[in-house]
Structure 1
Amino acid sequence: MFPAASLLTTLLLALSIAASPVEIRNSPITLPIARRLNTSGGTINLLQHDQSRAAALKNVGESTLSRRTGSITVTNDAVSYIAAVGVGSPATTYYLIVDTGSSNTWVGADTAYVKTSTSVDTGEAVAVDYGSGSFSGTEYTDTVTLGDGLTITAQSIGVADRSEGFTGVDGIIGIGPLDLTEGTLTKEPDTTIPTVTDNLYSQGIISETVVGVSFEPTTSESDANGELTSYTGDIAYTPLTTTYPASYYWGINESIAYGSTTILAETAGIVDTGTTLILIASICNRATEDDTTGLLRITTTQYDDLEDLNFVVGSNTYALTPNGQIWPRALNTYIGGSTDYIYLIVSSIGTPSGEGLDFINGYTFLERFYSVFDTTTSQVGFATTAYTDATTN
């Protein structure tokens, strides 16, 4: 995380979802994290959810009005990684989705905002459309507490008067790039809002604006074991892409190959904790689309014949093993699927290649590779973990 001896002296949010976290240095702060499958609304169509989000992500450069209202079908958040975050003094605990694909922090979807002596109404209206959900309300500044005593003062907090697509969670803690907040305030649409990471840096709590994320594979509907920590292995970095609109996010250039066959030549896309699946503009036609879940499914024989899916970033190749390419079979019924089917977690992004955002490496990729989002030097880093070759699925 950010003790003097830690790697890069940074804030590293390790969203560890299995019994044992990745290798870490001792950290004085822990932040409970939980993975939840949202089954309250019945069957989850993961593909519809993620394609709706992908469509909204591509609209980042459009007018404020279209970004807020949009025409994307709203679906409940399907899979969430949730941190317990304190707001106010004394603090009320809110359970917020940790999202690298957005940058506003807001509460009120479930638990109502509680005003305290540190609450300041800025008089601004705020709204964000995520494609897979949206909120609108009033901006406040307030004290935010992460983990055991990590306190940010005067943090911008959206207080939702209305929200859609968020069930069983209270809102979002956005850790994406600063520019994603532009256009979210009504009176000052050209203004950006300092993010949680920005304020941690400006208030001297961390020395560099760097966030690290580590997921771990799990076969449980809800699992928790997270902490603010540092990775001790070797991390390979790649510069952020300059290709629009991927450049608005944690965008990188990569190519993807199935075995030795290239299925996506080097192009721009993003790394996003708010997307469940791996979405690409071109996929191998080796599977059948499942009407219920939206996922591609394969036979046992096809699974036995699967080759690695290779993500080439710079001079490094990150191989997603066959086991890493499938949805956890123990969780098939939670998404309305059949226990007898094998579902792929790789699918179509839903739009043609060549539009500047040709892939999204969602959390199913990040379960197998540690990632670092470095604002200070404009780069993203990856490293293998003990779970890269796991056979949990």
Structure 2
Amino acid sequence: MLTIGSQTYNLIVDTGSSTTWVGAGLQYKPSPVGRFTGNISGVLYGSGGYIGVEAIDTVSLGNGITVSSQSIGAASFSLGLGGFDGILGLGPVDLTKGTVVSVDSIITQTWSNRTVPTFTNNLVSEGVISQDIVGAYFQPLHGSNASEADGEITFGGFDSSKFTGDLTYFPRLTSGNLSAYWSIAVEEVKYGTVAIGTGLTAMVDTGTDVILLPTSVFSAFMKTSGGFNDRINNIAVFSTKPTSNFEITLGQTTYTLTPDQYLLPMAQYSNFGLDTDKYYAWFADSGSSTFILGQKFLEYYYSVYDTSNSRVGLAKAV
């Protein structure tokens, strides 16, 4: 939960976008120091988005994590948030280009590429944290429970109690179609002993539930594993339980997901209306060349988003 202005909101913590906004559920209500700027604010995501106006107000997570002057989107229309009030954007600042525009620029169609300081940018500039670093931990859901608290976000550093061994860092890519995101190079993807993709780029994204595979990799995965795409639920499904590991190699380090980790727990089937005679996996076809390491990967690997050094860190989660 996060306080913006005079109210508390339930937001998605998203390293795949950089704008902080509310209004998908509970509408924005300014604090006594809040103000509207007169600018238009909006973002279009892979699924959903919002349009509204920009406000400047206080944003607080408690425990001293407060920004006194943060740009906020106050949505008048939104789509695809699934019961959340909005998004806390923790992606790179480049993703804010074009998200806030003046009314005059819309009329004259003269677009600006200016960026808008993110929540973590402002935590640094206001002296709340010394380094623009975020650590993210997710705990897998247990049994049939679909609503337990399952994560921890650390601002200004990371929580070493949430992972074992050392963090391995990978440089954030500076070119390519995902360069504005937390994107890293993928050397190889394997199912069992079979390579199903090489020389790829992946985005590390806390705001995506599943692991989105490039279409070419997903097709090779289904062919090799004997699975198929469940077009109703848009995830991989199997008639018999898979027994091979799924491996993603970044640099010289291989990150492994066992079948018990990448398959949906059967106790969760009733939450999604799934057939009990099949086996479903947390993999989906992105429908393009896009590769996203979403929450179901990050439940097993602690992640660090280091803006100060332009890199992403990963370690085995506890």
CA-CA distance at 1:266 after TM superposition: 2.1
Secondary structure of the structure 2 residue equivalent to 1:194: coil
Aligned AA (1:280): L
CA-CA distance at 1:225 after TM superposition: 5.0
Aligned AA (2:114): T
The residue aligned with 1:160 is 75
The residue aligned with 1:134 is 49
The residue aligned with 2:228 is 288
TM (norm. structure 1) is 0.71
Matching residue within 131, 146, 151 for 1:221: 146
CA-CA distance at 1:118 after TM superposition: 1.3
CA-CA distance at 1:151 after TM superposition: 1.5
Task: Provide the identity percentage.
Answer: 41
Following the alignment from structure 1 to structure 2, what is the Cα–Cα distance between the partners of residues 142 and 299?
Answer: 52
Secondary structure of the structure 2 residue equivalent to 1:197: helix
CA-CA distance at 1:95 after TM superposition: 0.8
Maintained 8 Å contact 2:305/2:313: yes
Following the alignment from structure 2 to structure 1, what is the Cα–Cα distance between the partners of residues 231 and 249?
Answer: 31
Maintained 8 Å contact 2:213/2:292: yes
**2:172 matches 1:240:** yes
Aligned AA (1:299): S
Moved more, 195-204 or 210-219: 210-219
Bigger proportion of residues as strand = 2
CA-CA distance at 1:243 after TM superposition: 3.3
**2:269 matches 1:332:** yes
Higher relative contact order (CA 8 A, sep 6+): 1
The residue aligned with 1:383 is 315
The residue aligned with 1:316 is 253
Gaps of 5+ in 2: 103-110
The residue aligned with 1:87 is 4
Maintained 8 Å contact 1:256/1:266: no
Secondary structure of the structure 2 residue equivalent to 1:222: coil
The residue aligned with 2:305 is 373
CA-CA distance at 1:128 after TM superposition: 0.6
Superposition map of 1:20-59 within 5 A: none
Following the alignment from structure 1 to structure 2, what is the Cα–Cα distance between the partners of residues 139 and 201?
Answer: 21
Maintained 8 Å contact 1:330/1:339: no
Aligned AA (1:260): T
The residue aligned with 2:201 is 268
Maintained 8 Å contact 2:239/2:277: no
Maintained 8 Å contact 2:48/2:81: yes
Following the alignment from structure 1 to structure 2, what is the Cα–Cα distance between the partners of residues 227 and 147?
Answer: 13
Matching residue within 202, 206, 212 for 1:279: 212
CA-CA distance at 1:227 after TM superposition: 4.1
**2:42 matches 1:114:** no
Aligned AA (2:74): V
Distance 1:312-1:227 versus aligned 2 partners, 3 A rule? closer
CA-CA distance at 1:149 after TM superposition: 3.2
* Residue deviations 1:163-195 (CA, integer Å, cap 9, x gap): 112242111000000010001122263221100
Matching residue within 101, 108, 111 for 1:186: 101
Gaps of 5+ in 1: 1-83, 387-393
Following the alignment from structure 1 to structure 2, what is the Cα–Cα distance between the partners of residues 226 and 337?
Answer: 25
Maintained 8 Å contact 1:293/1:336: no
Maintained 8 Å contact 1:100/1:176: yes
Distance 1:98-1:228 versus aligned 2 partners, 3 A rule? closer
Aligned AA (2:135): G
Maintained 8 Å contact 1:251/1:268: yes
The residue aligned with 1:342 is 279
